[in-house]
Structure 1
Amino acid sequence: MKKRAFLFGLGAFGLAGCAKLRQSPVPVVQEGFVVKPVPVAQGNMTAFLPEGDTIYLSGSINEDTATGFAAVRDSNPKAKRLVFLQADGPAGSPEAMEFGRAVRAAGFSTHLRNDSVISGGAVDAFVGGTQRTMEEGAVIGVVRGADSAAHKSFATEMTGGDGYARFAEKFGGKRRPRPMTIAEIGAMGIVSANVGNALAAN
């Protein structure tokens, strides 16, 4: 299998065509894929694309995302930056917070390009970065989490305060993400304070 390849972290249902492979109730990485016993909709998957020192992420954060991240990270030991493209997921969910903690434990920085759009659980994962930067034009949308107490505790752990989770609880959409302004992003600690600015050159 070529080094530059997609690795998918699958949702609650699994990867189409995997019924012939070994079945297991826990995530199994095989041939670059997290194998599940029954098909899963493409929109419920997380895709990782490693390239040099960077891993690009898109899709939906789910219960297998942390497993997929670990597998692609192990295969690309020089990678230390996670760039979010188009990503979402349930806000404040155990799987999103688990992935955010995995990103932090791995020592990865996180970044948003000028065409990146993230919301819900993807924002939770993004704040797991040791250094969090974004380019002008990136969109961050907040969604109310199901467990506000756990979300506030996680936000404090990742950013040093629960402002982001409190903001999501008060202003986040229930069905549609509510885009944040640059001022709100900076004030809530979503980007790193020590970068000097909410925006990064690249």
Structure 2
Amino acid sequence: MANPQTQTADLPEVIATDVAEQGVAVTIDDGEAGKHLEPSLLGLEPYQWVAIAMAVLLLIAFFGAKVHKIIAGGLDNKIKAIRDNLEEAKQLRAEAEKLREEYAAKVSGAEKDAEAMLDNARREADGIVAKAKDDTAAMIARRERMAQDKIAAAERQALAELRAKAADASTAAAAKLIAKNHDAAADRALADEVIGKL
């Protein structure tokens, strides 16, 4: 193991002064004239870091352009899908508007048809009522005529029966009168007269 004092002996000695704190550069001569320390990080020199940075920048530029194209292509695809969806939504909206107009026309037509049917039903009902009134009046007139005819027939029959009874009664009365007033000699004279006319 190395002695810590020997390790510090190889390094240049730095003395902090008021001048150093004020930002003035102080150079320490460690005995080797012209040698100056280069900064290094992780064992790589500055030119190596510059080469690595350039390689990374070129890789980013190369792959970044492809990534940019991929991202742009993805965004373009998204935009196209959104436009397609918007176009489809416009078409669906147009179809919905068309269907709404058709149904509005159908509803309007149905209302007009209903009004026409109602008017037609009213006219038919009025016609049926008028026909029923006419039929009722005609039926009443027929029944009155039938009743009058029956009454007239009954009167005729009663008159005929009355005449028949009157004829029977007059015939019976005449027979009685004739039997009472005519004798056998009058009958013979009447019979001779009738035979003579034949």
Larger radius of gyration: 2
Write 1 or 2 for the structure with the bigger share of helix: 2
TM-score (norm 2): 0.12
